[in-house]
Amino acid sequence: ELKNTVCLLKDGQAILSQHLGDLEDARTAEEYDRTLALYGRLFQHRPEVLAVDLHPDYRSTRAGRVRARRDGLPLVEVQHHFAHIASVLADNAHPLDGSPVIGVALDGLGLGDDGTLWGGEFLLADYRGYRRLAHLKPAPLPGGAQAMREPWRNTYAHLATHVGWDNFAAGWVGLELAEYLGHKPLRVLAKMLERGINVPPSSSCGRLFDAVAAALGLAREQVSYEGQAAIELETLAAQAAPQDDEAYPFAVDTRAPTMLLDPAPMWLALLDDLRAGVEAPIVAARFHAGLAAAVAGLAARLAAERDLGSVALSGGVMQNRTLFEAVSG
């Protein structure tokens, strides 16, 4: 919905429209409808099946459902992160009947097939289907969509979930971050978490970046464009001295049906560094190094367990060059 394009499939070819953009914008939504009609005429395209994102509230999904009912067409709902991995396979000419891969999809948010919000996923996938093998341990989004606009909410949620708010308040007294968060409406947020009101759980890696960025004072209050906090965090990490090779630890919990990549040890190490006065660029660099090592290690483990030779990396977080090169290297 945010970066929409239209894709027609005909005679084995994929015909992509121009980039349309955010369908929440009324003018973009009008252009979306116009482009669908125009491309249908230009390419004499009469669809036999429609494919939409699994998320029921996307305008493109709603449009697909309306058209499927109107024209009596089959409708295929595609899970967001499975689509990410399938796109990597296609982009690399992976054979249709080729072996499955371990797909690592790290991004902001996408609706999972269990009805929760995904975004830090390790999938066993080919073109035909997938199975979720592991994911980032979920944290709530206080205020739902508001948490995407105000990164400090993610910092609070991650600390409350992975450290425990009472532990944080008692263990890191005097920390600038504690003082900053102390001026926020934490009682309200705590009640929301306690009662499960507008705090959807999410395994989003993008929101983890937001949380760490805000902990370091980056884009805390509000972001003015998508990915701002994460971009500023990567920029900060680039300022660290290259000889610093420490990496924050992550844990892997194998007790759940799907493995969990747990950031709790990372948060403890990060908070200790902040208390010790470690410079922010070094903290940012250690976070990148730790996440990259954890992602690469878990992907390699999952591949080895299934005797697979390929890992596919995708998702908006992989636009982070520092992270991508560390994972793929």
| DSSP-derived secondary structure for 226-252 | TTHHHHHHHHHHTTS-TT-------EE
Q: In this predicted model, what pLDDT tens digit does every residue of 179-194 receive, in sequence order?
A: 999 999 999 999 999 9
Would you give the distance in Å from CA 236 to the centre of its chain?
Answer: 20
Q: In this predicted model, what pLDDT tens digit does every residue of 79-128 receive, in sequence order?
A: 999 999 999 999 999 999 999 999 999 999 999 999 999 999 999 999 99
Q: In this predicted model, what pLDDT tens digit does every residue of 234-276 receive, in sequence order?
A: 999 999 977 667 999 999 999 888 999 999 999 999 999 999 9
Average pLDDT over residues 36-63: 95
In terms of pLDDT, which residue wins out, 161 or 256? 161
Query: What is the secondary structure of 136-158 as a DSSP string?
Result: EPPEE-TTTTHHHH-HHHHHHHH
Strand partners, 262: 251
Closest residue by Cα to residue 50 from 69, 24, 31, 33: 69
- Strand residue runs (E) in the chain: 7-10, 13-16, 50-53, 75-78, 101-111, 117-125, 130-136, 139-140, 201-202, 251-253, 259-262, 311-314
Across the chain, mean pLDDT equals 96
DSSP tag of 132:
E
37, 46 Cβ separation under 8 angstroms: no
pLDDT at residue 324 in the model: 97
Report the C-alpha gap between 310 and 112 in whole angstroms: 23
Q: In this predicted model, what pLDDT tens digit does every residue of 197-207 receive, in sequence order?
A: 999 999 999 99
N-terminal to C-terminal alpha carbon distance within the chain: 32
What is the reported pTM?
0.95
pLDDT at residue 243 in the model: 66
88, 107 Cβ separation under 8 angstroms: no
Strand partners, 104: 122, 313
- Element at 63 (helix H, strand E): helix 59-71
pLDDT over 70, % of the chain: 99
Report the C-alpha gap between 208 and 107 in whole angstroms: 10
